[in-house]
Amino acid sequence: MAPVKTDTKFDVLGLSHETLVNQLASMGEKPFRARQIMEWVYKKQTYDFAQMSNLAKVLRDRLVQEFRVSDLGLHKVQRSQRDGTAKYLFRCEDGQLVESVFLPHEGRNTACLSTQVGCAMGCKFCATGESGFARNLTPGEIVAQVIGMEADQGQEIHNLVLMGMGEPLHNWDNVREAMSALLDPAGRNWGPRKITLSTCGVVSGIDKLTESGLKLRLAVSLHSADDQIRSQIMPINQRYPLKELLRSLRDYQKATELQLTFEYTLFKGLNDSRDQAHAVASLLKGLDAKINLIPYNPVSGLAFDAPSFDQVVAFQEVLKERGLIAMVRTEKGGDIDAACGQLRRREQ
C-alpha cells in the first residue's frame, strides 16, 4: 500500500512496518530505520521527528520536511456518570466528524473505533447509515483515535473493537494497514485476539480477511436468520444472502480456529419471536459461535421499537436450549448518546 499523503507530506501513523520500509527504501534508507521510527511513535509517543535522537540528523531533517503524524482535534466528549464510558467526537483535518468510544473495564480498557466517515451500508436501524457516507478514514486517522482517547483518559487502551461508524471491510486496505501497524512488535505489539472486527456481512471482505492471515476476532451483525427480514433491515443481504455469508464464515473459522461472535439486535415484533430464535439456532448449527443479544436502543426518527424484557429472556432461553452460548449485552453509556452515530448526527 502506498503511504497516504496529506498536505504534500506522508503520514507515518497507521503505516505497517512493510509499507514504511518500502517508503524509506525509496529514500535510500535501511530497513531498520522503519522499526526505529515506529518505536518512537508507538512506544515513546514522540511525534516530533527532530527529537528522534537515534536517527541521523540528515534523516531527521528529511522526515520533518516530508513526513507527518496524523492528529485528530477533540471536538466534543460526553462522559457517562454511571460507568465511566466516554463518547468522543473527533474533527478530522478536512472538518469531517468521526465518533469513537472509550469503554473502561477493570484491568483492561476497550476502544470502539470508526473506520469511515458515515457509512454506505444503509442499515435501516442505524443512525450512522441515516447520515450517509462521506469517505474512508486513512490508516492514520484510524490509529489516531486510539492515541486521542489515551491522551484524554490518561490510561492505556488494551483492546479494540472496530464497531464504530462505517463498515471496516468496506475500507479494508486502510483497516488492514492500521491493524498491521498496531499488531507489529514495534507498534503496539497487540495480539490479534485483542482486536475484534465487526461486519454487517461483506462476504468479499471476509474472504480477503481470511486470505490476509490476520487472525482477528470476527463479529457479524446478523439480526435475522430469515433472508426476507434481513434484507428488509440490512440491504447488504440482497447482495450477500445468508447462504453466502455462512460459507465465508465457515471458511474463516476453518482458517483461524477462532470462535465467531454474532450480534443480534432485537426489534419488537420483527425478529424477537421464539420461532425466530429457533431459526437462528438452525442457521448457526455446526459453528463455534456465541451470540450477543442486544435490545434495540431507539434512535429518534427511526421506525423501530425495543422489545420487552420478557421477550428478550424468552429468545435467549430458546438459544440456550438449542446448545448455543447466548448473552444479553450489558448497556454501557446509557446516559449519553449511546447508539453509534447519534452524537455526530446531533452535531450536524
Residue 340 catalytic? yes
Domain match, 19 and 126 both: no
pLDDT score of 128: 75
Residue 35's domain spans which residues?
5-68
Cα separation, 266 vs 62, in Å, equals 55
Whole-angstrom distance between the N-terminal and C-terminal Cα of the chain? Answer: 33
99 is catalytic: yes
Are 130 and 78 within one domain? yes
Point out the domain boundary residue: 15, 41, 68. Answer: 68
Q: Based on the domain organization, do 163 and 252 belong to the same domain?
A: yes
CATH code of the domain containing 269: 3.20.20.70
Q: Are strands 108-112 and 97-105 parallel, antiparallel or unpaired?
A: antiparallel
Read off the pTM: 0.91
Query: What whole-number distance in Å separates Cα of residue 154 and Cα of residue 30?
Result: 35
Residues 33 and 132 in one domain: no
- Catalytic pick from 29, 92, 99, 126? 99
Any idea what the CATH number is for the domain that residue 10 is in? 1.10.150.530
Same domain, 91 and 56: no
Instruction: Quote the distance between the C-alpha of residue 332 and its chain's center.
Output: 17
- pLDDT digit of tens for each residue in the chain (348 aa)? 666 655 678 999 999 999 999 999 999 999 999 999 999 999 999 999 999 999 999 999 999 999 999 889 999 999 998 888 999 999 999 999 999 999 998 879 999 999 999 999 999 888 777 778 999 999 999 999 999 999 999 999 999 999 999 999 999 999 999 999 999 999 999 999 999 999 999 999 999 999 999 999 999 999 999 999 999 999 999 999 999 999 999 999 999 999 999 999 999 999 999 999 999 999 999 999 999 999 998 777 778 899 999 999 999 999 999 999 999 987 666 565 655 555 655 565
Same domain, residue pair 48 and 121: no
For residue 9, the tally of other CB atoms under 10 A from its CB is: 16
**Residue 179 · residue 195 · CB < 8 Å:** yes
C-alpha to C-alpha distance for 153 and 104, rounded to whole angstroms: 10
From 112, 123, 200, 340, active-site residue: 340
- Cβ neighbours of 243 (radius 10 Å): 9
Containing 11, the helix (H) or strand (E) segment is strand 9-11
Residues 64 and 77 in one domain: no
For residues 72 and 92, is the Cβ–Cβ distance under 8 A? yes
- Give the separation between CA 90 and CA 119, rounded to whole angstroms: 16
Same structural domain, 123 and 238: yes
Domain total for the chain?
Answer: 2
